[in-house]
Structure 1
Amino acid sequence: MKITFLGAAGEVTGSQHLIETDGRRILLDCGLFQGHRAESFKKNCRFAYPAESLDAVILSHGHMDHCGNIPRLYNKGFRGPIFCTSATADIAEIMLKDSARIQDEDARYLSRKLNEKHPPIEPLYDEEDVRQVMKQFERLDYHEWHDLGDDLRVRLLDAGHILGSAIIEMKIKDRGEWRHLVFTGDLGRRDLPLLRDPDTIEGCEILISESTYGNRIHEKASDLKEELYHILDEAYRVEGRVIIPAFSLGRTQQIIYYLNDLYNENRLPHIPIFVDSPLSTRLVSVYRHHLQDMDQDVSDVLKEDKDPFGFSLLDYVSTRQQSIELNKREGAFVVIAGSGMCENGRIRHHLKNGLEHPENTVVLMGYQAEHTLGRRLQQRDPKVKIFDRYYQVKAKVVQLSGLSGHADVEDFKWWYETSAKRGNIGQVFLVHGEPESATALAALIRDEVDEEPIIPHYQQSFEV
């Protein structure tokens, strides 16, 4: 069996791993590379294999760096099945349609900026590619072995990363011998709101494991609800705005769930809360449809509360005009909007109108990449540029980091130790991590696995 690492190798984007046997060619994930425009487009527009030669894609979850290039695969001739959980299929449809729309808008904008001799800017795919490729999705239940031919069996375990995320377990026949391979996808954390803890495995022959935070310990998620309470309580007293940039998938739903908890506990200050993100609103509908895939805490809440994503103080903003009107609103309120790093979307308008007022608070809820507006706010720059104008940062800026969906050092240690007790773990390949994170994780797990962990390079292949 041959494994070729075609993305998320030595980096944390573009997840794509090709498994080849004497009878099968299967792709694990098909994510978008995200980064510098020219470099990313070059990687995203070409595949290292004929798309039509693939037998199947098995998808771990609906984040764009894992599913975002599947329509391009269809555009280039792939017509095989795409296996994933039901929630992932629903999430992927929304995320891919949004991606196609953004690519079209970007292509139109850039085409207007370029001179006439420049080659036309083309999106990677369009909405019709998304509509067609969604017909190829096949939904698999968690925890059941699915026979996908006489030489392939697949089981999806809960990865605990986002709704619908899966650890992919494969038994695949190669030259008459059954091989046992596991791909963690993005491994989640224990005790996150909404999500079940990651499942462990019963050993395997080959393990492809993420390593994003193999050298870091996260803050506890349970502390974040109390921190939110204190921020909202202060905003209520000083009549300030709370502006929360949040990723549309996962982070926004977790914040709403915590605020709903505070409401049910009669502790939420009487302050209006607005979710100003059409994408987040569409994704909330998926969460409502898949409540059965969430943790025991959600089941307990549902005994008394039929909707963990709705309460009287919460409104979902649907139109652009409603969003504009929020910026004219007086008094205390909360607005949750995308994007999480403040680089685009409606959040930039809320920041433009709110940063220069000292009674307001900006709450950063996750990692802020270098050179983003979110990073400049995080490092307390005295002024920041939004829409070609500088604004003084007089609002209070708070960083809350308890909701990262990736396993940290303690989670990895627990997961590997528990899995190794259930069965031997053979050769491990560490992907989806910067080199220092992967190297640290390799040292951490060395005693739990049979072979020295390997950190593959981009496009590197291994015979196993």
Structure 2
Amino acid sequence: MKITFLGAAGEVTGSQHLIETDSRRILLDCGLFQGHREEAYLKNSHFAYPPESLDAVFLSHGHMDHCGNLPRLFNKGFRGPVFCTSATADIAEIMLKDSARIQEEDARYLARKLTDKHPPIEPLYSEDDVTGVAKLFERLDYQEWHELGEDLKVRFLDAGHILGSAIIELKIKDQREWRHLVFTGDLGRRELPLLRDPELIAGCDVLISESTYGNRVHEKASDVKEELFQILDEAYRLEGRVIIPAFSLGRTQQIIYYLNDLYNEKRLPHIPIFVDSPLSTRLVSVFRAHLQDMDDDVREVISSDRDPFGFSLLDYVSSREESIALNKRKGAFVVIAGSGMCENGRVRHHLKNGISNVENTVVLMGYQAAHTLGRRLQNKDPKVKIFDRYYEVKAKVVQLSGLSGHADVEDFKWWYEGSAKRGNIGQVFLVHGEPESATALAALIRDQCDEDPVIPQYHESFEV
């Protein structure tokens, strides 16, 4: 069996791993590379194999760096099945349609800016390609082994990363020998809101594991709810607004769930809350449809509250006119809007109108990449550029980091030790991590594996 690492190798973007046997060619994930525009476009445009030659794709979850290039694969000839959980199928279709729309808008914008000598920038794919690949999704339940032929079986276990995320277990027959391969996708954390804890495996011959935070310990998720209460309570007393830039998938729903909890506990200040993100609103409907895939706490909540994503103080903003009206609103209120790093979407308008008011608060809820507006706010820059103007930062800026969906050092230690007790773990390949994170994780788990973990590089192949 040959494994070629075609993305998320030595970095944390563009997850894509090719598995080849004497009778099969299958792909684990087909994610978008995200980074410098020209380099990302080049990597995303070309595949290292004929797409039509793939027998199947196995998709771990619906984040764009894992599913975002599936429509391009379809555009170039792939017509095989895409196996995933039901929630992932629903999420991926929404995320991919949004991606196609953004690409088309970017292409039109760049066409106006580029010189006549510059070749036109074409979208990687269209909404028709999204519709086409979505028809290939085959939904499989968690925990059941599914026979996909005489030489291939698959089982999905809950990865605990986002709704629908899966650890992919494959049993593949190669040259008359069965091999047991596991791909963690993005491994989640324990005790995150909404999500079940990651499931343990019972050993394997080959393990492809993410390593994003193999050198870090996160803050506790349980602290975030109390911190949100303190922020909203202060805003209510000061009659200020709270602006929360939040990722549309996962983070927004977790925040709403915590606020719903505070409301049910009769602790939430009487302050209007607005979700100003059409994408987030569409994704909330998926969460409502998949409550059965969530943790025991959610099951307990819905025994007395049928909708953990709705309460009387919460409104979902749909139209552009409603969004603009919020900037003229008086008194205390909360607005949750994309994007999480403040680079795109409606949140930039809310920041422009609220960042210079000392009574307001900006709550950053996740990782802020270098050179983003979110990072500049995190760094307490006295002035920031929004659109084409500089604004003084007088609002209070708070960073809440407890909701990261990736396993940290303690989670990895728990997962590897627990899995190794159930069965031997053979060769481990560490992907989806910067070199220092992957190296630290390799040292942490070495005693739990039969062989020293390997950190593959982009386009590197291994016979296993």
Query: TM-score, with normalisation over the residues of structure 1?
Result: 1.00
How far off its partner does 1:248 sit? 0.1
How far off its partner does 1:115 sit? 1.4
Name the structure 2 match of 1:113: 113
CA distance in 2, matches of 1:53, 1:13: 24
CA distance in 1, matches of 2:67, 2:351: 30
Name the structure 2 match of 1:17: 17
Name the structure 2 match of 1:94: 94
CA distance in 2, matches of 1:132, 1:38: 26
How far off its partner does 1:416 sit? 0.2
Name the structure 1 match of 2:66: 66
Matched residue type, 1:239? E
Name the structure 2 match of 1:365: 365
Name the structure 1 match of 2:123: 123
Q: Which runs of 4+ in 1 moved over 2 A?
A: none
What is the correspondence of 1:150-189 to structure 2 with a 5 Å cutoff?
150-189=150-189
Name the structure 2 match of 1:350: 350
Name the structure 2 match of 1:247: 247
Matched residue type, 1:392? E
Deviations 1:301-355 (A, max 9, x none): 0111000000000000000000000000000000000000000100000000000
Name the count of aligned residue pairs.
Answer: 464
How far off its partner does 1:117 sit? 2.4
How far off its partner does 1:119 sit? 1.3
How far off its partner does 1:296 sit? 0.0
Name the structure 2 match of 1:82: 82
CA distance in 2, matches of 1:9, 1:119: 30
Matched, 1:274 2:274: yes
How far off its partner does 1:239 sit? 0.1
Matched, 1:54 2:73: no
CA distance in 2, matches of 1:133, 1:430: 29
Matched residue type, 2:154? V
SS at structure 2 position matched to 1:14: coil
What is the correspondence of 1:303-314 to structure 2 with a 5 Å cutoff?
303-314=303-314
CA distance in 1, matches of 2:420, 2:457: 26
Deviations 1:260-310 (A, max 9, x none): 000000000000000000000000000000000000000000111000000
Name the structure 2 match of 1:408: 408
Name the structure 2 match of 1:444: 444
Name the structure 2 match of 1:219: 219
CA distance in 2, matches of 1:65, 1:338: 18
Name the structure 2 match of 1:3: 3
CA distance in 1, matches of 2:69, 2:387: 30
SS at structure 2 position matched to 1:6: strand
Deviations 1:395-423 (A, max 9, x none): 00000000000000000000000000000
CA distance in 1, matches of 2:324, 2:148: 51
What is the correspondence of 1:277-296 to structure 2 with a 5 Å cutoff?
277-296=277-296
How far off its partner does 1:118 sit? 1.8
CA distance in 2, matches of 1:119, 1:448: 52
- Cα root mean square deviation, aligned: 0.3
CA distance in 2, matches of 1:458, 1:328: 50
Matched residue type, 1:425? I
Name the structure 2 match of 1:260: 260
How far off its partner does 1:121 sit? 1.3
CA distance in 2, matches of 1:106, 1:214: 35
CA distance in 2, matches of 1:449, 1:114: 52
CA distance in 2, matches of 1:117, 1:413: 54
Matched residue type, 1:308? P
How far off its partner does 1:182 sit? 0.1
SS at structure 2 position matched to 1:201: coil
CA distance in 2, matches of 1:439, 1:461: 19
Name the structure 2 match of 1:200: 200
How far off its partner does 1:214 sit? 0.1
SS at structure 2 position matched to 1:266: coil
- Structure 1: gaps spanning 5 or more residues: none
Deviations 1:138-193 (A, max 9, x none): 00000000001110000000000000000000000000100000000000000000
CA distance in 1, matches of 2:424, 2:199: 16
